[in-house]
Amino acid sequence: MDSINNNLNGWLIINKDIGMSSRQAVNIVKKTLNVKKIGHAGTLDPLATGVLALAIGKATKSVKYIMDGLKKYNFTIKWGISTDTQDAEGKVISKSNKKPDQIILNSILKKFIGENEQIPPKFSAIKVNGKRAYKLSRNGQDFNLKPRIVFLKNFKIINNNVKKNNTTFEIECGKGFYVRSLARDICKELGVDGYVVNLKRVKSEPFDLKNSISIKEFLKLYEKNDWKNFFLPIY
């Protein structure tokens, strides 16, 4: 193996595929570029896709600034079923034929705008007494997560598919915000069942999908030594 590459300092914006963890994406890029310092600005769940900003070399010192930036997500709630993870990965815990009233749904969106308390999902990477919450949940252990103050700047419906019984939303939010928690709270407010499908991060200030490249594309371009067109300087 070649010596560690310490000359790369900048950002590589990955358009993460479904099924891949954020750590897996980091490890692939780290091994391919043979760099020592690499990190990411905001974890995406394996079932989530979209913008995953990777900081390489000295860029890792600026991760905190990207973490503090606004994030934009598109996500869909499938009505009629609730799962323990609030997404398609979990076990079904309840079902109903009750559908959300669209007028009421539109009216409650404003309730979530601004700063609010949000309880993270129990299936999350948050640590509880030194252990990941999702591991405790998988082991059937009972615990409670404390609510956190989160910020939601914008919230709107972008599509309502009556035939498929789902609604697609777009939000712009601050750090530490959980879309799955938002979906859970919407369902609770409406008195219906639902879970998140098709969660995509389309922006992580100042980066968006236009700056991004998939892992597959990155590996192909790396073989051609043409990947640096997507490598952004620290500034």
Contact between residue 200 and residue 48 where contact means Cβ atoms under 8 Å apart = yes
Residue 55 and residue 204 in contact, taking contact as beta carbons nearer than 8 Å: no
Count of CB atoms within 10 A of residue 130's CB?
5
Active-site entry in 45, 87, 185, 193: 45
Q: Clarify whether 2 is annotated catalytic.
A: no
Any long-range contacts for 138-146 (C-beta under 8 Å, 24+ apart)? 145/119, 145/120, 146/119
The encoded tokens of residue 224 equal 């051609």
Counting Cβ atoms within 10 Å, is residue 76 exposed (0-12), middle (13-18) or buried (19+)?
Answer: buried
Catalytic residues: 45
